[in-house]
Structure 1
Amino acid sequence: MGKVRNILQVKGHAVYSINPDNTVFEALQQLVDHNVGALTVVDNNDHFMGIFSERDYARRVILKGRASKETLIREIMTERPITVSEDDSIEDCMGLMTDKRIRHLPVVDPQNRLIGLISIGDVVKFIIDDQQHIITSLEGYIKGTHV
């Protein structure tokens, strides 16, 4: 099974982020502009502070009757989210996401600096591609065309 680094090699390390002092409305605009479901939250010194997701919006803004244009990200973001490293296995990530019912995992280095973000879609795509490669290899072995 692959590692988180394998996903980041294909996907890249680019992460869409928002400042904690931005409004929820500004974050929602970014989610739409980038067609993503979550943004990492970083301060002016690029220090990783947390994550803002569609789930945070639904649970902490809409259901609480708050206004998106007046609520700051720092008020509703998920602080200290579960993170993974590049050396974690894809299988472990799938287990974490399933057990904790989360869809995004920030990837941090040993100094806890943000280096990427993977989603459940990234994990599922990797697993499907990996299984397809195994199937193709086995078919080649059976047919005698395996190299």
Structure 2
Amino acid sequence: MLVESVLATKGHDVLTISPDATVYEALALMAKNNVGCVLVMSKDQIAGIFSERDYARKIILKGKGSKDTPVSEVMTTEVCIVDKGKTLDECMAVMTAKRVRHLPVVEGDKLIGIISIGDTVKSIIDEKEQEIEHMIDFIHGGVTPPGK
């Protein structure tokens, strides 16, 4: 299964915030939308990503204030991105190797979505469940399995 299939189901919406926004503003946006991160965009370019992990490690543990700290000061600047044509297995490998939970998705130079580890696992499970259903149908009814 490809990343573009996940986005076709999930949608292409991406929460973004500017680098000069405060950490508090980023947290409020994340809470309002029930997500664990926001992309930090400068013009049309990805400047970084800000996650709950960044907040815990770079604000709380360092005694900084979220209302007076700009996101640019604590965001993760090395953002792993994937092309829409990547497979979910490739995404899982990147997420595991880089220890990240979110991957912005691009088409060429354009941001077209974001997938999380949860999106990836859900899609893989859904795909396996469909394969099982097709095999059960084949065994019980003689329907040819897909791809055969």
Q: Among 104, 119, 124, which residue is 2:121 paired with?
A: 124
1:52 matched residue in structure 2: 50
Q: Distance in 1 between matches of 2:28 and 2:137?
A: 48
Q: Distance in 2 between matches of 1:51 and 1:146?
A: 47
Pairwise CA RMSD: 1.1
Q: Among 87, 103, 106, which residue is 2:104 paired with?
A: 106
2:8 matched residue in structure 1: 9
2:83 matched residue in structure 1: 85
The answer for unaligned runs of 5 or more in structure 2 is none
Alignment partner of 1:31 is 2:30: yes
The answer for unaligned runs of 5 or more in structure 1 is none
1:140 matched residue in structure 2: 137
Alignment partner of 1:41 is 2:40: yes
Q: Distance in 2 between matches of 1:137 and 1:24?
A: 48
Q: Distance in 2 between matches of 1:107 and 1:42?
A: 14
Q: Distance in 2 between matches of 1:75 and 1:146?
A: 58
Matched residues, number: 144
Q: Distance in 1 between matches of 2:133 and 2:142?
A: 11
Q: Distance in 2 between matches of 1:30 and 1:136?
A: 40
Letter of the 2:100 counterpart: I
Secondary structure of 1:14's aligned partner: coil
Displacement of 1:122 in angstroms is 0.2
Q: With structure 2 as the length reference, what TM-score do the two structures score? A: 0.93
Consecutive aligned runs of 4 or more in structure 1 exceeding 2 Å deviation: none
